[in-house]
């Protein structure tokens, strides 16, 4: 009876939608800003707790921006750096501020500008130094090529600046520059195309998120740094056939599954120069990863985390900066894999540290004594999703979590002495997904909140009461435009996966939904450990495209299978170990079979699926192994053969070759390509440095071999996101829309 009433309500609400409501178009979604959310990410907390800074329209130079400090409690503002102080000698306009770094005493500031992209982020650029007292303004790294400095940072005393200098792929060396004189000291001199000092190769950057590879000692006397040796790592080459008369090549080290990795080691060198002391970390550097480095709450030791190649053992060790001798103080193992503990923090002057572990079955915070002998559990039987601030003075850890609702996310805090359980700070009335950047003293936070049909709101809140002090951006104009759209109902639902595990999902209905008729079901899938699709948050242009498809007569659904990073415990996330491609897609298939059986308005003869990257791989598995269910699919930038992907990511989830060869053989989608019966559109960018075009070419050969008809489209020189070039995104989405309209007929029947 309840189910019938729910269907009746959906039908009546759809019928009551405004006849004059707006319809979406691809141009409105991807070309103009009508429905685009404005962000507010430019605010930076000052480390001294005196407020935050933002870039505001200049009071002195038209078209430029001043750096302004705001008192969070009162809202009072003052200009810290007027734009006219950022005009280089001989120029008539200030430099563009892309980022800025304060000296420890706040009297000097480095301005980052003229940046360029290194794989994913703009981590190479120019740095300029402003002395606020004298007004002196000069460029750091004088004499080096344009945009060739990386990760510049002040010494703890503020008298020197260290940076990596990189020219193309030929030089990766660390320098120290005197703030007062500009004198440069080169600390490493062996940097080359394959010897990488102070930064990382493609795989470490992409899969461990490591970019900045050096650390000042607390007393400023030394620098600890990573060095990677990529010699012996096989190169991958991207071919650009369009920008010149003859092809141009981009070649870079890329270790595929089972292949040789870069060797990593950690050294300590005096900030005034001299020989490097290498830390004597045990184990073959080609079959281990060094995933964390910092000083061990003193200037005599560094703390290092080392993962084995299978990534199921994490060893925490201290290494003596003078001798290199290393001792293991804490070790953890898992039957599947372990993530690096990047939220490592020291307490009580180095007497204990914060550790994050899933050994309880949940992602839990622990306080561990320096010698590793004693530990105290701080959080309970729920997952800590992300630590946002450790306030050692206030004695709290702030983190996001959602103990009872995996589709949403809220702010909590817990006492660092374990004296009280975690408490939720986000108001219960604000259901949805929340993110925070908490001030150094824990009294305030920049807050971002959104829901599935609610554009993000950016505001400043006080803590722990969570009162809104001021709103930075409420996206009211775009929200009004969105609210005027002809939108059907949105349902958050639960169903079951292949083993009966409860799965959460979201379903969108057409505006004129009639429960007495049948509609095609369009499934959006990701399915892998790097992200969720069914969270209750604003989905940007992707959500708008799904709404456009509902307006054309589709029911659109997405759900999170086992293995996706929902806060549902270790067993949920790691159930896909050595079965990635199988368990996750089988969950998807079982869930939608169940929904089709339960909901008569879903047409079992019209079920389509699409996804990008890992979702593209899942789409291939769905079409090849569950072709009786999924009739039409669009697979974008997939990994048809997991053995073609990089070693760090794929071995973490699928195992190590040759030991786990049988698991790979069973889990690669290309081995099931001969079973394709439905309609497939395969799309890939030829310049994809992450998921190589090579995989789609191999899949094409296999499909041709088995006389399987399909459609294929390549985007020359586009990278993994397939977004470079004028109108690329709109072109891609028009093609995808047309493909479903043609092969998965829309509308009620």
pLDDT at 421: 92
pLDDT at 73: 93
Rama region for 480: left / alpha / beta (φ>0; ψ in -120 to 50; rest)? alpha
Tell me the two tokens of residue 739.
């493909």
User: What count of other Cβ atoms lies within 10 Å of the Cβ of residue 406?
Assistant: 24
Cβ-count burial of 431 within 10 angstroms (0-12 exposed, 13-18 middle, 19+ buried)? middle
Q: Lowest mean pLDDT: which of 30-44, 319-333, 351-365, 415-429?
A: 30-44
Please state, for a pLDDT cut of 90, what percent of the chain lies above it. Answer: 91
Which residues is 130 bridged to in the sheet?
109, 137
What dihedral do alpha carbons 655, 658, 660, 661 form, nearest 10°? 120
CA dist., res. 696 & res. 205, Å (int): 24
Please state, for a pLDDT cut of 70, what percent of the chain lies above it. Answer: 97
pLDDT at 505: 98
pLDDT at 33: 86
pLDDT digits (tens, 9 = 90+) for 673-731: 999 999 999 999 999 999 999 999 999 999 999 999 999 999 999 999 999 999 999 99
CB contact at 8 A, 688 and 720: yes
Label residue 478 by pLDDT band (50, 70, 90). very high
pLDDT at 60: 87
DSSP string for 611-623? EETHHHHHHHHHH
pLDDT at 391: 85
pLDDT at 711: 98
Listed by start position, the domains of the chain span 2-32+485-743, 187-338
CA dist., res. 653 & res. 614, Å (int): 13
Angle formed at CA 677 by CA 672 and CA 681, multiple of 5 degrees: 85
Label residue 41 by pLDDT band (50, 70, 90). confident
Q: Show Cβ contacts of residue 471 under 8 Å, excluding neighbours closer than 6 positions.
A: 457, 458, 459, 460
Closest C-alpha to 318, from 271, 367, 265, 370? 370
pLDDT at 21: 66
Cα-flanking dihedrals φ and ψ of residue 733, to 5°?
-70, -30
The superfamily CATH assigns to domain 2-32+485-743 is Alpha/Beta hydrolase fold, catalytic domain (3.40.50.1820)
CA dist., res. 406 & res. 398, Å (int): 19
Q: Lowest mean pLDDT: which of 170-174, 280-284, 675-679, 737-741?
A: 170-174
Closest C-alpha to 28, from 524, 450, 484? 484
Tell me the two tokens of residue 615.
């979702």
- Positive or negative torsion for Cα 525, 531, 533, 538: negative
β-pairing verdict for 555-560 and 519-524: parallel
Helices (runs of H) and strands (runs of E) counted in the chain: 12, 43
User: What count of other Cβ atoms lies within 10 Å of the Cβ of residue 158?
Assistant: 16
Cα-flanking dihedrals φ and ψ of residue 180, to 5°?
-75, -40
Q: Show Cβ contacts of residue 5 under 8 Å, excluding neighbours closer than 6 positions.
A: none
pLDDT at 263: 98
CATH of domain 187-338: 2.140.10.30
Tell me the two tokens of residue 546.
């799904």
Say yes or no to pLDDT of 6 above 50.
no
Label residue 1 by pLDDT band (50, 70, 90). very low
Record the pTM.
0.93
What b/e readout covers 265-302, taking b as 16+ CB neighbours within 10 angstroms? bbbbbbbeeeebbebebeeebeebbbbbbebbbebbbb
CB contact at 8 A, 451 and 536: yes
Say yes or no to pLDDT of 17 above 90.
no
**Collapsing DSSP states into helix, strand and coil, what is residue 225?**
strand
Between the two ends of the chain, the Cα-to-Cα distance in Å is 24
Q: Show Cβ contacts of residue 430 under 8 Å, excluding neighbours closer than 6 positions.
A: 449
CB contact at 8 A, 510 and 555: yes
β-pairing verdict for 632-636 and 679-685: parallel
Say yes or no to pLDDT of 245 above 50.
yes
Tell me the two tokens of residue 295.
């000083």
CA dist., res. 30 & res. 353, Å (int): 46
If residue 730 lies in a helix (H) or strand (E), which one and from where to where? Answer: helix 728-743
Average pLDDT, integer, range 334-344: 95
Average pLDDT, integer, range 434-443: 94
pLDDT at 49: 81
If residue 544 lies in a helix (H) or strand (E), which one and from where to where? Answer: helix 540-551
> Hey, which bits of 561-639 come out as E strands?
602-612, 632-636
Closest C-alpha to 96, from 80, 79, 83? 83
β-pairing verdict for 108-118 and 77-81: unpaired
pLDDT at 119: 87
CA dist., res. 98 & res. 42, Å (int): 10
Length of the chain measured in residues: 749
The DSSP 8-state label assigned to residue 744 in this structure reads S
CA dist., res. 183 & res. 172, Å (int): 19
CB contact at 8 A, 32 and 541: no
**Collapsing DSSP states into helix, strand and coil, what is residue 479?**
helix
Tell me the two tokens of residue 327.
């001792």
β-pairing verdict for 711-715 and 679-685: parallel
Q: Lowest mean pLDDT: which of 19-33, 255-269, 325-339, 419-433?
A: 19-33
Label residue 468 by pLDDT band (50, 70, 90). very high
Say yes or no to pLDDT of 18 above 70.
no
User: What count of other Cβ atoms lies within 10 Å of the Cβ of residue 628?
Assistant: 12
Strand order in the sheet with 602-612: 490-496, 502-508, 555-560, 519-524, 602-612, 632-636, 679-685, 711-715
Do 2-32+485-743 and 187-338 have matching folds?
Answer: no
Higher pLDDT, 120 or 593: 593
pLDDT at 633: 98
CB contact at 8 A, 241 and 247: yes
Angle formed at CA 520 by CA 516 and CA 522, multiple of 5 degrees: 135
pLDDT at 224: 98
Scanning the structure block, which residue is given the tokens 């000097």?
Answer: 108
**Collapsing DSSP states into helix, strand and coil, what is residue 588?**
helix
Q: How far is CA 34 from the centre of its chain?
A: 26
Tell me the two tokens of residue 336.
């599947």
Cα-flanking dihedrals φ and ψ of residue 87, to 5°?
-100, 115
Average pLDDT, integer, range 246-275: 97
**Collapsing DSSP states into helix, strand and coil, what is residue 456?**
strand
Q: Show Cβ contacts of residue 163 under 8 Å, excluding neighbours closer than 6 positions.
A: 127, 140, 141, 149, 150, 151, 152, 153, 174, 175, 177
Rama region for 184: left / alpha / beta (φ>0; ψ in -120 to 50; rest)? beta
Average pLDDT, integer, range 280-287: 96
pLDDT digits (tens, 9 = 90+) for 304-317: 999 999 999 999 99
CB contact at 8 A, 571 and 364: no
Work out the mean pLDDT of the chain and round it to a whole number: 94
Say yes or no to pLDDT of 8 above 60.
no
Label residue 13 by pLDDT band (50, 70, 90). very low
Say yes or no to pLDDT of 396 above 60.
yes
CB contact at 8 A, 521 and 747: no
Cα-flanking dihedrals φ and ψ of residue 425, to 5°?
-105, -25
């Amino acid at each position: 009876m309840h189910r019938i009433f729910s269907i009746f309500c959906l039908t009546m609400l759809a019928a009551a939608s405004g006849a004059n409501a707006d319809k979406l178009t691809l141009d409105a979604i991807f070309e103009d800003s009508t429905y685009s959310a404005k962000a507010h990410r430019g605010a930076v907390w000052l480390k001294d707790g005196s407020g935050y800074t933002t870039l505001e329209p200049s009071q002195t130079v038209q078209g430029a921006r001043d750096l302004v400090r705001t008192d969070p409690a009162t809202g009072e503002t003052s200009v810290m750096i007027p734009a006219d102080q950022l005009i280089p000698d001989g120029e008539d306009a200030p430099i563009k501020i892309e980022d800025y770094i304060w000296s420890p005493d706040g009297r000097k500031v480095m301005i980052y500008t003229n940046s360029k992209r290194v794989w994913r982020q703009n981590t190479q650029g120019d740095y300029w130094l402003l002395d606020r007292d004298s007004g002196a303004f000069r460029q750091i790294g004088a004499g080096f090529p344009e945009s060739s400095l990386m990760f510049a940072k002040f010494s703890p005393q503020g008298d020197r600046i260290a940076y990596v200098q990189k020219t193309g792929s030929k030089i990766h060396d660390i320098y120290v520059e005197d703030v007062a004189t500009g004198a440069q000291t080169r600390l490493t001199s062996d940097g080359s195309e394959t010897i990488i000092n102070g930064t990382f190769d493609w795989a470490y950057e992409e899969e461990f998120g490591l970019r900045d590879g050096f650390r000042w000692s607390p007393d400023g006397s030394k620098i600890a740094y990573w060095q990677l040796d990529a010699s012996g790592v096989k190169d991958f080459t991207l071919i650009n056939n369009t920008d010149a008369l003859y092809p141009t090549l981009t070649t870079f080290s890329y270790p595929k599954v089972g292949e040789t990795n870069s060797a990593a080691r950690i050294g300590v060198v005096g900030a005034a120069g001299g020989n490097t002391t290498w830390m004597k970390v045990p184990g073959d550097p080609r079959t281990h990863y060094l995933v964390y480095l910092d000083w061990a709450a003193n200037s005599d030791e560094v703390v290092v985390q080392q993962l084995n190649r299978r990534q199921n053992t994490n060893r925490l060790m201290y290494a003596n900066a003078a001798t290199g001798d290393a001792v293991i103080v804490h070790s953890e193992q898992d039957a599947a894999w372990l993530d690096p503990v990047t939220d490592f923090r020291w307490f009580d002057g180095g007497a204990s540290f914060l550790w994050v572990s899933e050994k309880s079955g949940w992602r839990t915070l622990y306080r561990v004594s320096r010698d590793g002998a004693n530990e105290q559990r701080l959080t309970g039987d729920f997952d800590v999703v992300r630590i946002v601030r450790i306030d050692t003075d206030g004695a709290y850890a702030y983190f996001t979590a959602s103990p009872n609702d995996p589709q949403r996310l809220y702010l909590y805090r817990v006492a660092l002495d374990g004296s009280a359980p975690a408490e939720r700070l986000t108001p219960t009335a604000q259901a949805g997904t929340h993110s925070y950047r908490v001030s150094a003293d824990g009294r305030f936070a920049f807050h971002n909140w959104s829901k599935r049909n609610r554009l993000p709101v950016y505001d400043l809140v006080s803590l722990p009461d969570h009162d809104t002090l001021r709103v930075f951006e409420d996206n009211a104009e775009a929200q009004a435009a969105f609210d005027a759209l002809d939108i059907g109902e949105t349902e958050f639902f639960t169903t079951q996966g292949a083993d009966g595990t409860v799965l959460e999902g979201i379903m969108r209905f057409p505006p004129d939904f009639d429960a007495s008729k049948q509609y095609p079901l369009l499934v959006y899938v990701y399915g892998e450990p790097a992200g969720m699709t069914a969270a209750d948050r604003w989905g940007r242009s992707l959500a708008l495209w799904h709404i456009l498809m509902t307006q054309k007569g589709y029911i659109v659904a997405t759900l999170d299978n086992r293995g996706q990073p929902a806060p549902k415990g270790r067993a949920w996330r790691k159930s896909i170990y050595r079965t990635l491609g199988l368990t996750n897609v089988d969950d998807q298939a079982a869930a939608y079979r169940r929904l089709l059986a339960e909901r008569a308005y879903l047409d079992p003869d019209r079920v389509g699926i699409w996804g990008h990257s890992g979702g593209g791989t899942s789409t291939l598995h769905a079409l090849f192994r569950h072709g009786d269910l999924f009739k039409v699919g669009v697979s974008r930038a997939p990994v048809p053969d997991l053995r073609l992907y990089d070693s760090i990511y794929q071995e973490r989830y699928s195992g190590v070759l040759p030991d786990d060869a049988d698991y790979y053989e069973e889990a690669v989608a290309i081995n099931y390509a001969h079973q394709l019966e439905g309609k497939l559109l395969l799309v890939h960018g030829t310049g994809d440095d992450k998921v190589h075009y090579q995989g789609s070419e191999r899949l094409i050969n296999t499909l041709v071999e088995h006389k399987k008809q399909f459609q294929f489209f390549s985007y020359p020189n586009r990278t993994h996101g397939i977004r470079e070039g004028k109108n690329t995104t709109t072109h891609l989405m028009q093609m995808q829309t047309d493909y479903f309209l043609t092969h998965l007929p829309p509308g009620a029947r």
